[in-house]
Structure 1
Amino acid sequence: MSPAPVAGAASAAPAAGPAVAARPVLRLQVDPGATVRSLEVLAAEARAPRATSSYSMVGLTWRGTDPTLRVRSRGPEGWRPWREAEVLADGAAGEGTPGLRATELLWMDRSDGVQVDVDGSGHRGLRLVLIDPGVRAEDRAAATPSSGTTQRVAPASGRAPQPELISRQRWGADPSWRNGKPRYNAGIRQVVVHHTASGNDYTRADVPGILRGMYRYHTQSLGWFDLGYNFVVDRFGRAWVGRSGGVGRPVRGAHALGFNHASVGISVIGNFEAAKPTNAAVTMVVRLAAWKLDRYGHDARGGVTVRSEGSDRYAAGRQVRLPVISGHRATNETACAGERLQARLPDVRTRAQARIERS
């Protein structure tokens, strides 16, 4: 894919592009027990254009003040436009490396060069993370709409049905990467909707690899127990099981710091600041939200008061009135779930409640 330029960013170099620095190629290494390859280096190694072995996902981590970060990649067509790397506002108390800050993981498509632009001071230890999630035979099968190992449960009488879910095994979650055990909430009071802020032009067959890359980044780079989101939805309207612990149980995620104890996290793969989410993706969010909320007796169109456990938006102990179905920006200082997906949430609430009432 060729990502759209960032508003206000410098124009991309022509296809020929600048020459890469005359330094050794940055080579990714295979992660133990996985098809995923990765590399973590100081970002200073890529302040000038740098040749790499093949990769398709980029993230950055640091400590201290948040800098403004842009990244560009080199593909078969040459150097692509600069892209801003959005600061990650997800997380959970008790998970992750203390004090570590990070960007969302960007989907860059197949690339063999990288350059990082940094603006700001007060940060330290800025590191570049390159990930190649690899390709498995099972990934190629995902190009077929009906393919995939799904998890189903018998519908409970009078309850909104569980939608079809594609299992963790199907996307290649390596259980050895998990750090600890699942934690469970007393119940689900809220659905928090996210976007991954990554990229929009991925194919069906790309999705398992995108999930493996996110899983590797969340667990190995950030130190989280597991993938942060409970469920992930792609632009084709398919729902994938994210965090482990049981799809029908109130598993505590790492998606809305300060509010994970009362919510379930659903993330749509893509960046919806300018691009519209597909109708198929929105419909799946409706189905997931109705299924989860109906089991705890909540009106999808209503509000709920939640006690914050401490976020960058609400101090610990504060009682916060929130929509039962909200975008991530309701609980944390972030643009997530993107303007165009955020705008669809009133429709999601109405349709989810109608689905609950029909059951």
Structure 2
Amino acid sequence: MIGVNSDNFNVLQGKYTSNNVNCQCDKSQSGIAELNFSEENDDHSYSTQLFCKKIKILLYFITAGLLMAILLFTIRTMITVQNIDMLVRLHYKIHKVTPNPLMESMSESSPEYVSITEAIPTTAIVRREALQIVPREQWNAAFPKDVIKLIGPVDIIIICHTATQNCNTSTACEKLIKSMQRYHMEEQRWWDIGYNFIVGGDGKVYEGRGWTGVGSHTFGYNRKSLGIAITGDFKTKIPYKAQIKACKELIKMGVMLGYIDKNYKLFGASQLVSTLSPGKALLEEMETWPEFSEKA
């Protein structure tokens, strides 16, 4: 006997119907009645579907977060690699290393030597009126062996000449400056080309050690000055007008950017050390510049 309480029971069809369960009574081949149950509202199945939806949503947010992190990392890497400072503010990533004075005979000894661990960041060609600054990679500069950081702003500007033939095209100037760097590094055993900047006969300024690197141009003054070389030999003749103009504009830019003290003093190298540089003719020309100083 089966107790059915108040639920509907269809004896003729062998079916039992309740609020939540259908029960069908069939006869098997053995003649014994079998009961088949099926739930109309399967709570377990519904919970499983809901859980799967939540997992899908969670995975979506995790994927979106990872993609965003990769994008941000890529952008940051690109900025780090380029590291272009449109105001010519060169930034060197440096670490202390053991001093090696033999590698830089023209620099003053210092307990704090620094080594570049990455390629020197370059600057785009920067214009101030007619001024053009050509970055190192454009003239194919070799990577320096080491760098001493120049603490600025400096209050001394020293003008030199290269004591070579002058150049009047960009191709000729780049070739000349590259040859000069090779001589300084291989023959003089300096860490890099000796000058902070070189003014070519084409009227462009070529980046040497830049605003923040100690040069090797005037012994005893390298750590407190900027050395600017003008291509050519000026014992008997002065530089091209474009060279003089570019040199003056470069100094003005240095003052504007804070690398050169506004009350700086201007010297020819021969005023400070025993040398013919920058040549008698150029030194006489410099005496007409308002910032020229007769005494150190």
TM-score, normalised to structure 1, is 0.44
Q: Which has the higher helix share?
A: 2
Change (3 A) 1:179 1:293: same
**Structure 2 vs 1, CA of residues 281 and 221 (structure 1 numbering), >3 Å: closer, same or farther?**
same
- Considering only aligned residues, what root-mean-square deviation do their CA atoms show, in Å? 2.7
Structure 2: which amino acid aligns with 1:259? Y
CA–CA separation in structure 2 for the residues paired with 1:207 and 1:162: 18
- Pick the structure with greater CA Rg: 2
Contact 2:167–2:173 (8 Å) recurs in 1 = no
2:280 is aligned to: 339
Distance (whole Å) between structure 1 residues aligned to residue 175 and residue 167 of structure 2: 14
Count residues in correspondence. Answer: 174
Q: CA deviation at 1:163?
A: 4.0
**Aligned: 1:327 with 2:238:** no
Contact 2:106 2:217 in 1 (8 A): yes
Q: How does 1:32-111 map to 2 (within 5 A)?
A: 91-94=106-109
Q: Distance in 1 between matches of 2:172 and 2:283?
A: 25
Contact 1:233 1:269 (C-alpha < 8 Å) held by counterparts: yes
Identity of aligned residues (%): 22
1:169 maps to what in 2?
137
Cross-structure match for 1:114: none
Q: Tell me, which stretches of 5 or more residues in structure 1 are unaligned?
A: 1-89, 96-148, 156-160, 301-323, 352-359
Q: Which runs of 5+ in 2 are unaligned?
A: 1-104, 111-122
| 1:224 equivalent in alignment to 2:190 | yes
Match of 1:261 among 211, 223, 228: 223
CA distance in structure 1 between the partners assigned to 2:263 and 2:230 by the alignment: 22
What does residue 212 of structure 1 align with? 178
Cα distance in 2, alignment partners of residues 218 and 299 from structure 1: 31
Question: How far, CA to CA, are the matches of 2:154 and 2:183 in structure 1?
Answer: 26
Letter in 2 for 1:233: V
1:240 maps to 2:206:
yes
- Evaluate the alpha carbon distance shift between residue 187 and residue 162 of structure 1 in structure 2; reply closer, same or farther with a 3 A threshold: farther
1:24-51 per-residue CA deviation (whole Å, 9 max, x = no partner) reads: xxxxxxxxxxxxxxxxxxxxxxxxxxxx
How far is 1:173 from its partner?
A: 0.9
Q: Counterpart in 2 of 1:299?
A: 263
Change (3 A) 1:259 1:297: closer
AA aligned opposite 1:216: R
Structure 1 contact 229–253 (Cα < 8 Å) conserved: yes
- Counterpart position of 1:276: 238
In 2, the alpha carbon distance for the partners of 1:201 and 1:253 equals 23
